[in-house]
Copies of this chain bind each other. A is one copy, B any other.
Amino acid sequence: MNTFGRAFRVTTFGESHGAGLGAVVDGCPAGLKLGEADVQQELDRRRPGQSALTTARPERDRAEILSGVFEGKTTGAPIAILVRNEDADPSAYEAIRDLPRPGHADYVYQAKYGHRDYRGGGRSSGRETLGRVAAGAIAKKLIGQHGIGVYAHTIAIGAVTAGPATMDDIVANPCKNPVRTADLSSVAAMSEAIGKARSEGDSIGGAVEIVATGLPVGLGSPVFGKLDADVAGALMGIGGVKAVEIGAGTRSALLKGSEMNDEPVLEGGQVRARTNHCGGILGGISTGMPLVCRISVKPTPSIAKQQRTVDIARMEEAVIAIKGRHDPSIVPRVVPVAEAMVALVIADHMIMAGKICPDRI
């Protein structure tokens, strides 16, 4: 299952150290202005080496649109996007071919398929998200035409939590700092927490909030195509995510009905809600208030510290210490992926609810 979505469908392909990675987007209406720059811009946000301290390496992860766009506009045909792998050096992985890395999918892949591309995690590499982000770029552009924006930002790195942020902060600030937080006053502490984990040969988790604004009332289906169910599936499907919350989330368990319920109110002749504890979804359907969700991201499993494992060729216990550059926290890099996944869900539901015409914008 490498296809996501019902009406706006994305199929991703590719491995970390193969010829390339990419996506085919099927179901994008004709007439949307689209160029490689639109896709590249989003890919650049998820690229490694973005912090002020590292080289920008602008030549990496170049997206080529192979189909579906003509004279600068989509045609309704599938949009295939290809990103070639460039400096893939798989030799480092040869040594750990039979040593499943703790916290990685190495062993389950081997057990499931009997044969795997072990180089850099192969298909289970974080590089697979290139295809999602590329497709998400198209989704964001499409729903942007209907006034919908999707914005993610880091709200915690380990125990360091971001302070409150206005919607303006959430829109403007994450791209200005390497941890991708909206609360600029937390940047230093978050960076320090990441640096500390790295210096210990360890890694650290965190949390990301995603807010979507401008949604109409009525996205989502009552029973099995609920908007929140689809968002939860989309976000839990990002590598490293271990929890998804909508609105009040886990805190809902502690509340009374009189505290949790959002009372309807009239605003400018429209039914809105006094509060938004439901996170913009009731009964699986968007309320017209902002969609608010949060994800908890586990620490990067690749760490320099020595760990115990099993040599699955010899079937004996072994130790492993993972070499090479690895982000000590993937949280900042999850930010654009989470945005992409939520944008894909919304684009899908906009079409399914008849708010976007499937054939042409």
Contacts and interface: CB of A to CB of B under 8 A. Distances in A.
A27 B223 CA distance: 12
**Best-surrounded residue of A117, A236, A302 (most CB of chain B within 10 A):** A236
B296 A77 contact: no
A38 to B, nearest CB: 17
A253 B113 contact: no
Interface in A219-263: 221-226, 228-237, 239, 242-263
B122 A13 contact: no
A189 interface: no
Contacts of A31: 113-115
Contacts of A73: 115
Contacts of A223: 1-2, 12, 123, 128, 237
A353 interface: yes
Contact of A77 (B13, B202, B305, B315): B13
A49 interface: no
A37 B152 CA distance: 45
Interface stretch (A14-22, A136-144, A167-175): A14-22
Given A111-B217, A308-B274, A354-B359, A103 B261 contact: yes
A232 B244 contact: yes
Interface in A119-155: 122-124, 128
A58 B300 CA distance: 48
Interface in A170-213: 197, 200, 202-207
B243 A245 contact: yes
A96 interface: no
A67 B19 CA distance: 7
Contacts of A301: 257, 260-261
A299 B252 contact: yes
A166 to B, nearest CB: 23
A44 interface: no
A83 to B, nearest CB: 10
A158 interface: yes
A-B pairs, 6 with minimum CB distance: A105-B283, A1-B225, A233-B233, A229-B237, A232-B236, A203-B257
11 contacts: A3-B9, A12-B224, A31-B113, A76-B222, A105-B222, A111-B288, A242-B249, A245-B250, A257-B299, A260-B298, A269-B315
Interface of A: 1-4, 6, 9, 11-15, 18-22, 24, 26-27, 30-31, 64-68, 70-71, 73-80, 82, 100, 102-105, 107-109, 111-117, 122-124, 128, 156, 158-159, 197, 200, 202-207, 217-218, 221-226, 228-237, 239, 242-266, 269, 271, 274, 278-279, 282-288, 296-303, 305, 307-310, 312, 315-317, 352-354, 357-360
